[in-house]
Amino acid sequence: MTSSTPNVATPAIARIASRTLAWLTLFHIAVIAASNYLVQLPVNLFGFHTTWGAFTFPLIFVATDLTVRILGAERARRVIFLVMFPALLLSYLISVAFFQGQVQPLNSLFTFNSFVARIAMASFMAYLLGQLLDIQVFNRLRKLSIWWAAPLASTVIGNLLDTISFFSLAFYHSSDEFMASHWVEIAWVDYSFKLLMSLVFTLPLYGILLGRIQRWLTHNPQYRALILNT
């Protein structure tokens, strides 16, 4: 969809853009923190080892791709850089407080947990690399007439880099014997489940949300100046 409305940033539109970026930033932080906690909890599905984090993290790619589609790559990158350090800190605190699914005493927050810190740092690097690649791929393909081509390609490629980066940095020679022994298997199963989640849930969700946003813009043309070549 293209707009004939001049792209002039009025105060009202600027406020909407700022509010949208704030909500996207909070959403990213919440999903990252939840995923970093859930990745500590293994689950066996159909005989394969994975973690519960595989079911939450794909939502990040929906949010990022919609941000690129609606607000542009520059604003999407701004969200990534705003998210990184708060997500790192919150992920560490939540994962320590609920270490391996058990509520820990308050003083655990004041004792450095190297296992959790390694997961948080791995998540930090994987998130940065995966999301920046996702934005790059999506931005190159978003003008294709097939609406699902850009989010599908960016999700497949971005998730691959994110998964390999995270599991290798977090669990290679880890102090957790189970994760140290199974991280390669878990990484590939995790990636497979992320792709499955993308095909059956997050990609359709992206299409539904994009359609609703486009219909909303049709009925609210005064806000089209917010959009960067949707």
Question: What own/partner pairs with CB < 8 Å and gap ≥ 24 does 51-55 have?
Answer: 51/186, 51/190, 53/190, 54/189, 54/190, 54/193, 54/194, 54/197, 55/193, 55/197
**Between the CA of residue 119 and those of 64, 106, 111, what are the distances in Å?**
22, 20, 16
How many separate domains does the chain show?
A: 1
Residue 96 lies in a domain: yes
Residue 184 confidence class, pLDDT cut points 50, 70, 90: very high
Average pLDDT estimate for 33-49: 80
Residue 17 lies in a domain: yes
Task: For the chain, give the mean pLDDT.
Answer: 84
Residue 5 lies in a domain: no
Residue 2 lies in a domain: no
Residue 204: how many other CB atoms lie within 10 Å: 12
Q: Which of 23-27, 41-45, 210-214, 223-227 has the lowest mean pLDDT?
A: 223-227
User: pTM of this prediction?
Assistant: 0.79
Residue 217 lies in a domain: yes
Task: Give Cβ neighbours of residue 39 (< 8 Å, ≥ 6 apart).
Answer: 51, 52, 53, 119, 166, 170
Residue 83 lies in a domain: yes
Q: Is residue 217 within 8 Å of 224, Cβ to Cβ?
A: yes
By residue range, what is the domain housing residue 192?
Answer: 11-226
Average pLDDT estimate for 73-83: 89
pLDDT surpassing 60 at residue 90: yes
The pLDDT assigned to 197 comes to 86
CATH of the domain at 182: 1.10.1760
Q: Is residue 85 within 8 Å of 65, Cβ to Cβ?
A: no
Residue 206 lies in a domain: yes
* Lookup: tokens for 121: 């740092």
Element (H, E) at 124: helix 114-141
DSSP labels, 36-50: HHHTTSEEEETTEEE
Element (H, E) at 149: helix 149-171
Q: What are phi and psi of 140, to 5 degrees?
A: -75, -30
Three-state DSSP at 116 gives: helix
Residue 3 lies in a domain: no
